[in-house]
């Protein structure tokens, strides 16, 4: 046995594909939070027992990124390796992705062991040790242990086959579909590496507004090339499936999920995909939503559609992620109620390899939404969380909005069923589901810094960390990200964390305080548009959401209105039913209130709104000042880009504030409170702003 073991010694010339693509410029953001330390020399030695591509990556990562300060040799090994199993370490509950890092004595030699039950676990352990070291932790004494609480930790790319990215603000798609499968851009490796470093283990390559072409043989071969690159990093590939593909590329007359020919077509298609990608993860589907085809076109249910696809991938171990983001143009019901109305009756009707993927709120990734009422309401169905990492509604690429607090606010929300939280629904604890998942709509493009700005990287990072463990704290994540990204100097880290932790609330304040939502301009969703009222469907118009008139503002979702509150468990519904017990941050989401309604502060609703708009602008000004103070402590390239972005944000926060106040005043006829600055322009000026070429807008 001993002879069969491979002991691979550290080699100073070891290079990974990722190293070959190391950036030309030092501080352009390409390296994300993974910033190579000085080459390891001297006392530290890194060795490996066993030989798989993933174990080799774990070793190479440590060699590349672990600071020389370690005072113990590091050993990378599977827990099943005889010399490690002889130590009888507590590894049983690490599952197949967890890791253990700790100092041990092996053959009389002290080493820092990085181990797990699988090579993926070992790789995650290597990244955990690098994170620990880069955020100031001691290496020699490190004892780290963790297993993911959520099984599928998946990015959703809304990337189109022509290279554009729907709601993408960081350049074009990373996937060069045209040159694939022959040319595999080395950047694909770096993408996989970054994801693996934060525990992401799946990626849906194409937009949920899918083209059937992505399921044709040439595109399957392209996806297979990406899957080959991602595999050693523990990342599986998934595809968004267009429900009408059997008609469009299969020559069938129907896509009715109850038609045996349709089911047979999907089964053959799944077989074809698995021949090219043996570990293909499965399908993501947007059906009967915003014009996409689906089973409802044939009078079949969402469960019928999902189960038919699930049967096709089941023999291969695949899954279906079926989105609950549905609302129909024919349905006059409050849009916030429609997904629940459609899906709740289907609880228990989905096949066991289907997950229903639910957005964090019932409308659409607004800067603040109450948690989606489906969480907790479908106990017999694994519900997958869908967050949006790309900031469609939070200032897109340029505004600094750290989404950690948005994500944790939803995850920590109590559903009203005993001690259940949204996180405990998502991680399966609540109903003991084995299949669990969290999806994040990616903010990644081919910009040199991947996400269009340094602070946007933190949102990718935070998503990965929370998908691994939804109970993590947003501020702690911000801190470890800042330490890895800018170094551990507290003169930098403290103000950066402070800026990050205030930033999302600032966006809420200057775009839609007190529970206002969906008040943005049409199409590109860039900038304010609370006046928009002429769009074809009522629920496309901001006026549908805020319902402002001379008397008051807000959407009555209590019993006197749409009664959306009744979709929550009684304990939560009771709170939301009454404006006095509704958190003020969600007040106008649930209630239509007079402008002179008294807030807890004693101010009128109107005064409180105005104060919040001003507070949002002031917070951005403070963030700018804090960043200015870091000029000498942050590299020039990243400092300047963020400084420029903050100046854009301050200008645009003012624009949001001024345009919104000008509009509300045109509706309520109220003066601004004493001492408050008037909007810079009149309402007509704000209404006349037009941005036909804003990025990310689907055409
Ligand atoms: C992919 C919102 C976005 C759309 C997106 C949709 C969805 O409506 O504006 O661009 O489409 O959500 O999540 O399906």
What are the boundaries of each domain within the chain?
Answer: 28-146, 152-486, 509-555+592-688
Distance 123 CA to ligand 1 centre (A): 34
Distance 387 CA to ligand 1 centre (A): 12
Helix (H, G, I), strand (E, B) or coil at 130: helix
Read off the tokens for 141: 């004494």
- Closest alpha carbon to 299 in 258, 251, 340: 258
Q: What is the pLDDT of residues 182-238, one digit of tens each?
A: 999 999 999 999 999 999 999 999 999 999 999 999 999 999 999 999 999 999 999
Say whether pLDDT at 4 is over 90.
no
What's the order of all strands across the beta sheet hosting 46-49? 7-8, 46-49, 74-78, 109-116, 99-106, 144-146
To test the pocket of ligand 1, the residue of 156, 167, 329 to mutate (highest count of ligand atoms within 8 Å of its CB) is: 167
Cβ(72)–Cβ(110) below 8 Å:
yes
Count the neighbouring beta carbons within 10 Å of the beta carbon of residue 668. Answer: 20
Say whether pLDDT at 19 is over 60.
no
Read off the tokens for 582: 């509704």
To test the pocket of ligand 1, the residue of 240, 290, 363, 541 to mutate (highest count of ligand atoms within 8 Å of its CB) is: 290
Cβ(68)–Cβ(38) below 8 Å:
yes
List phi, psi (to 5°) of 593.
-125, 150
State the CATH class of domain 152-486: alpha beta
- pLDDT the model gives residue 68: 61
For the residues 243-249, what does the mean pLDDT come to?
Answer: 98
Interatomic CA distance for residues 460 and 614, integer angstroms:
29
Distance 364 CA to ligand 1 centre (A): 8
Better pLDDT: 1 or 394:
394
Residue ranges lining ligand 1, Cβ < 6 Å:
158, 166-167, 208-209, 286, 290, 325, 364, 392, 698
Interatomic CA distance for residues 4 and 7, integer angstroms:
9
- pLDDT the model gives residue 65: 82
Interatomic CA distance for residues 59 and 76, integer angstroms:
6
Nearest ligand 1 atom, CA 388: 13
**Inter-CA distances, 586 with 152, 517, 529, 581, 602, Å:** 30, 10, 20, 10, 18
> How far out from the chain centre does Cα 489 lie?
28
List phi, psi (to 5°) of 132.
-60, -45
**Inter-CA distances, 31 with 45, 56, 445, 466, 475, Å:** 24, 20, 14, 21, 22
Interatomic CA distance for residues 76 and 87, integer angstroms:
15
Interatomic CA distance for residues 59 and 45, integer angstroms:
11
For the residues 636-658, what does the mean pLDDT come to?
Answer: 98
CATH topology of domain 509-555+592-688: Alpha-d-glucuronidase, C-terminal Domain (3.90.1330)
Number of H helices, E strands in the chain: 21, 16
Distance 297 CA to ligand 1 centre (A): 20
Read off the tokens for 670: 């109220």
Q: What is the pLDDT of residues 457-502, one digit of tens each?
A: 999 999 999 999 999 999 999 999 999 999 999 999 999 999 999 9
Read off the tokens for 393: 């509604």
Q: What is the pLDDT of residues 366-402, one digit of tens each?
A: 999 999 999 999 999 999 999 999 999 999 999 999 9
Active-site pick, 61, 364, 650, 652: 364
The verdict on pTM exceeding 0.85 is yes
Interatomic CA distance for residues 91 and 85, integer angstroms:
9
Active-site pick, 59, 166, 392, 420: 392
- pLDDT the model gives residue 44: 63
- pLDDT the model gives residue 26: 65
Q: Name the pLDDT band for 66 (thresholds 50, 70, 90).
A: confident
Cβ(555)–Cβ(545) below 8 Å:
yes
392 labelled catalytic:
yes
Indicate the average pLDDT of the chain: 94
- pLDDT the model gives residue 249: 98
pLDDT over 70, % of the chain = 94
Better pLDDT: 25 or 491:
491
For the residues 317-344, what does the mean pLDDT come to?
Answer: 93
Say whether pLDDT at 9 is over 70.
no
Nearest ligand 1 atom, CA 209: 1
Say whether pLDDT at 571 is over 80.
yes
To test the pocket of ligand 1, the residue of 168, 364, 394, 520 to mutate (highest count of ligand atoms within 8 Å of its CB) is: 364
- How many Å from the N-terminal Cα to the C-terminal Cα in the chain? 61
CATH topology of domain 28-146: Chitobiase; domain 2 (3.30.379)
Q: Name the pLDDT band for 23 (thresholds 50, 70, 90).
A: very low
Nearest ligand 1 atom, CA 208: 1
Interatomic CA distance for residues 655 and 661, integer angstroms:
10
Burial of 586 (0-12, 13-18, 19+ CB in 10 A): middle
Say whether pLDDT at 13 is over 50.
no
User: What single DSSP character describes residue 629?
Assistant: T
Question: Checking DSSP bridges between strand 236-240 and strand 152-156, what pairing results, if any?
Answer: unpaired
Interatomic CA distance for residues 13 and 257, integer angstroms:
56
- Closest alpha carbon to 420 in 430, 410, 428: 430
290 labelled catalytic:
yes
Say whether pLDDT at 59 is over 70.
yes
For the residues 529-556, what does the mean pLDDT come to?
Answer: 96
Active-site pick, 51, 290, 596, 682: 290
Distance 490 CA to ligand 1 centre (A): 39
Nearest ligand 1 atom, CA 359: 13
């Amino acid at each position: 046995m001993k002879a069969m073991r491979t002991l691979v010694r550290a080699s100073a010339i070891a290079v990974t594909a990722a190293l070959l693509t190391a950036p030309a410029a030092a501080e352009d953001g390409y390296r994300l939070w993974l910033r190579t330390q000085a080459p390891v020399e001297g006392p530290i030695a890194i060795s490996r027992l066993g030989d798989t591509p993933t174990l080799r990556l774990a070793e190479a990562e440590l060699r590349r990124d672990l600071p020389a300060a370690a005072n113990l040799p590091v050993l990378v090994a599977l827990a099943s390796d005889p010399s490690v199993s002889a130590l009888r370490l507590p590894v049983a509950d690490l599952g197949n992705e967890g890791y253990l890092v700790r100092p041990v004595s092996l053959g009389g030699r002290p080493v820092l062991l990085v181990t797990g039950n699988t090579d993926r676990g070992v790789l995650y352990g290597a990244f955990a040790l690098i994170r620990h070291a880069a955020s100031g932790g001691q290496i020699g004494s490190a004892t780290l242990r963790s297993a993911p609480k959520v099984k599928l930790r998946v990015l959703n790319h809304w990337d189109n086959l022509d290279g554009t990215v729907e709601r993408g603000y960081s350049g074009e798609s990373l996937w060069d579909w045209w040159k694939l499968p022959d040319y595999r851009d080395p950047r694909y490796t770096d993408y996989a590496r970054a994801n693996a470093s934060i525990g992401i283990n799946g990626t849906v390559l194409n937009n949920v507004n899918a083209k059937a072409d992505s399921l044709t043989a040439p595109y399957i071969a392209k996806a297979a090339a990406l899957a080959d690159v991602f595999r050693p990093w523990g990342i599986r590939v998934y595809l968004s499936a267009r429900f009408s593909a059997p008609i469009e590329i299969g020559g069938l007359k129907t896509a009715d999920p109850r038609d045996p020919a349709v089911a047979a077509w999907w089964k053959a298609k799944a077989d074809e995909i698995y021949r090219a990608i043996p570990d293909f993860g499965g399908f993501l589907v947007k059906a009967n939503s915003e014009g996409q085809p689906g089973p409802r076109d044939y009078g079949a249910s969402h469960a019928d559609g999902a189960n038919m696809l699930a049967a096709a991938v089941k023999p291969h171990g695949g899954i279906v992620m079926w989105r609950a983001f549905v609302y129909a143009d024919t349905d006059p019901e409050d849009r916030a109620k429609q997904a629940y109305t459609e899906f709740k009756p289907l609880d228990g009707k989905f096949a066991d390899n289907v997950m229903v993927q639910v957005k964090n709120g019932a409308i659409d990734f607004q800067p603040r939404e109450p948690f989606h009422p489906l969480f907790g309401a479908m106990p017999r169905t694994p519900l997958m969380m869908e967050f949006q990492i790309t900031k469609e509604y939070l200032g897109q690429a340029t505004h600094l909005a750290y989404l950690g607090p948005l994500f944790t606010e939803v995850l920590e929300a109590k559903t009203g069923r005993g001690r259940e939280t949204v996180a405990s629904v998502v991680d399966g604890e609540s109903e003991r589901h084995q299949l669990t998942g969290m999806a994040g709509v990616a903010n990644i493009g081919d910009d040199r810094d991947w996400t269009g700005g340094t602070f946007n990287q933190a949102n990718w990072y935070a998503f990965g960390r929370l998908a691994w463990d939804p109970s993590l704290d947003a501020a702690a994540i911000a801190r470890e990200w800042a330490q890895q990204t800018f170094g551990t100097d507290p003169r930098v880290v403290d103000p950066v964390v402070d800026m990050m932790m205030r930033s999302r609330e600032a966006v809420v304040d200057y775009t839609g305080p007190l529970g206002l939502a969906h008040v943005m301009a049409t199409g590109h969703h860039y900038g304010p548009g609370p006046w928009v009222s002429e769009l074809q469907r009522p629920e496309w118009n901001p006026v549908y959401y805020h319902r402002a008139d001379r008397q008051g503002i807000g959407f009555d979702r209590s019993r006197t209105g749409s009664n959306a509150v009744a979709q929550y468990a009684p304990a939560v519904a009771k709170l939301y039913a009454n404006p006095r017990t509704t958190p003020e941050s969600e007040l106008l989401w649930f209630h239509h209130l007079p402008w002179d309604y008294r807030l807890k502060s004693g101010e009128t609703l109107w005064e409180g709104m105005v104060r919040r708009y001003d507070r949002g602008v002031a917070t951005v000004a403070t963030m700018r000042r804090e960043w200015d103070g870091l000029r000498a402590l942050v590299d020039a390239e990243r400092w300047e880009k963020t400084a420029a972005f903050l100046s854009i944000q301050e200008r645009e926060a003012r624009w949001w504030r001024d345009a919104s106040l000008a509009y509300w005043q045109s509706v309520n006829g109220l003066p601004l409170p004493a001492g408050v600055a008037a909007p810079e322009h009149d309402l007509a000026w704000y209404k006349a702003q037009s941005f036909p070429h804003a990025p990310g807008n689907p055409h």
